[in-house]
Amino acid sequence: MSVYIIAQLKFTQRERYDRYQSRFMGVFKNFRGKLLVADEHPVVTEGDWPRDKVVIMEFPDAEAAREFQESPAYQEIAVDRKAGADAIVMTVRGLK
């Protein structure tokens, strides 16, 4: 069953986040995921959303998502993401 990692970000130190972003695809390409959404201008159609960016990644299963998130390569660059943005990150299961 596919799983999705959804991140909602509020930038706090843009230069640190930009450093993370510049290194992200170099790490991500080594895993079994697909980057589906990375939008800094989502259209909020209902409610209050005090964030700057939404990211959605698809993985074939929970194990693949965990492999990515827990990998030493991702953990190394995630230092800049954590310093550069306040984030809400969740993993959700797909329907199939």
Q: What are phi and psi of 19, to 5 degrees?
A: -65, -45
pLDDT in the model for residue 96: 75
pLDDT in the model for residue 26: 97
Domain that holds residue 28: 3-86
| Sequence-ordered alpha helix ranges (H) in 13-59 | 14-28
Domain count of the fold of the chain:
1
Per-residue pLDDT tens over the stretch 58-79: 999 999 999 999 999 999 999 9
Per-residue pLDDT tens over the stretch 2-14: 999 999 999 999 9
CATH number, position 52: 3.30.70.100
- Would you say residue 37 has pLDDT above 80? yes
**Which residue type occupies 84?**
G
| Percent of the chain surpassing pLDDT 90 | 99
Q: 16: pLDDT confidence band, cut at 50, 70 and 90?
A: very high
The answer to whether residue 93 is domain-embedded is: no
- Residue 28's alpha-carbon distances to 16, 35, 42, 47, 65, in angstroms, are 18, 9, 23, 32, 11
- Would you say residue 48 has pLDDT above 90? yes
The answer to whether residue 37 is domain-embedded is: yes
The answer to whether residue 92 is domain-embedded is: no
The answer to whether residue 94 is domain-embedded is: no
CB contact burial 29-60 (16+ within 10 A = b; e otherwise):
eebebeeeeeeeeeeeeeeeeebbbbbebbbe
pLDDT in the model for residue 80: 98
